[in-house]
Amino acid sequence: MRLLALLIGVLVLGGCVTKEIYNAQVLRTNNFQRQLAEEEKHSADLAAEIARLKNHIAELEAQNRTLTTQLNEAKAQVVRSLEEVGRLQAEIKQARAASLAPSGVAAPMPKARGVAPSSTEPPDRLDELKEDGASASSLAPSGAATPMPKARGVAPSSKEPPDRLDELKKDGASASPKATRPR
């Protein structure tokens, strides 16, 4: 009988310890489940943020391509304008040469298409722009961007347009050669 009482006492005490360990394990498991749920929620939030940022990157890249195309079109327009200026300068020179009388006295010259006399004509540097822009653009890495240089400190007269050929050369060196569609 004593032995039986002793066995019952051990079982009762052993059951209490087992129940405490069980309760501790249940609390620990619940804590791990709560932490797992928090981490899964955080992971989902981060995945949504990554998707949002990827969409934003795609939008910015599209905007960058659009702006690059517009910039290249504007540069092509400037080159066409400079070619036109060069052509008009050549016409003016030819007209002046033809207007000289055989006696060496200059005949009165009519204005040609609103072009000012030679003292206000910008220098003809189109060939430099084409040569320097072509050689520098082949050396520039694609997608490289350089900041726009400041205009030179010389203020143009009211009749003379500012000479921005150096700026165009530098910008042409940073742009990658791309085909532009005609307007």
DSSP class per residue in 101-152: -TTSPBPP----TTPPPGGGPPP--HHHHHHHHHHHHHHSPTT---PPPPPP
Q: How many CB atoms lie within 10 A of CB 89?
A: 17
pLDDT at 69 (0 to 100): 97
- Residue 8 pLDDT class (50, 70, 90 cuts): confident
Q: What is the pTM of this model?
A: 0.41
What is the band of 70 on the pLDDT scale with cuts at 50, 70, 90?
A: very high
Domain ranges across the chain: 1-36, 68-93+167-175
